[in-house]
Amino acid sequence: MTRAAVPGLPSRHPIGGQLPALYADDDFAQRFTAGLDTVLAPVFSTLDNLPAYLDPRVAPLDFVTWLTSWVGTEDDPGLPVELRREAVVRAMELHRRRGTRRGLVERLRLTLGVNADVTGDGGAVWSSTAGADLPPGPSGEVVVRVWPGRDPRVDEARVREIVRDLCPVHVACRVEVLPGPPDDEAGRADDETGR
């Protein structure tokens, strides 16, 4: 799709054919309106394809950048085009999940291509027994562990920036960059043996 003049693009609504019969055989009028048809043909083509311009999966890249402002997300020109388009398509879903574990993991995967695991609850404790002593205070820390996904390198500074942006302000978040996926099986075996 393009919004520029396309050589030879015919107008679906030629002006010369809509003139009164008096001008149908007038060479000057037909040539003049044909020049206008050349200028208006891309405009008509754009208007005929307007739904495609508003669909980030097929819109021209400059429109995808513009659509990011509509859905309240950021466009990172450093990302591959497919990921930029997917970020716009999934923006509303990610806005709904903002501040949740799943939202943080999805945003890190989509934006940076890293895998992530979020542990910790942010520090909420309570007692269900009236008059009981207060429970011990929670650590209140959320640990975000990331490891390479589609890209073998993890941009730690960018991960910290996204975590800081998406974690609730009252929650302390710690980021750990791992060389590979965490070995949960070994951790379970250590727990069973008492180590």
Instruction: Kindly report, residue by residue over 86-95, the tens digit of the pLDDT.
Output: 889 988 888 8
In this structure, is residue 175 part of a structural domain?
A: yes
Co-location of 144 and 155 in the same domain:
yes
Co-location of 22 and 37 in the same domain:
yes
The Cα-based distances of 98 to 64, 146, 151, 193 in angstroms read: 22, 18, 24, 38
Co-location of 103 and 175 in the same domain:
yes
Measure CA of the first residue to CA of the last residue in the chain; give whole Å.
62
In this structure, is residue 41 part of a structural domain?
A: yes
Domains in the chain: how many in total?
3
pTM of the model: 0.61
- Which residues form the domain of 41? 16-48
In this structure, is residue 5 part of a structural domain?
A: no
d(C-alpha 126, C-alpha 118), whole Å: 22
In this structure, is residue 27 part of a structural domain?
A: yes
In this structure, is residue 149 part of a structural domain?
A: yes
Q: What confidence tens digit (pLDDT) does each residue in 15-68 have? A: 999 999 989 899 999 999 999 998 888 888 888 888 998 999 999 888 898 999
Provide the residue type at 95 as one letter: H
CB atoms within 10 A of CB 92: 12
Co-location of 112 and 168 in the same domain:
yes
Co-location of 153 and 105 in the same domain:
yes
Cβ-Cβ contacts under 8 Å for 72 (sequence gap 6 or more): 91, 95
Do residues 140 and 122 make contact, with C-beta atoms less than 8 angstroms apart?
Answer: yes
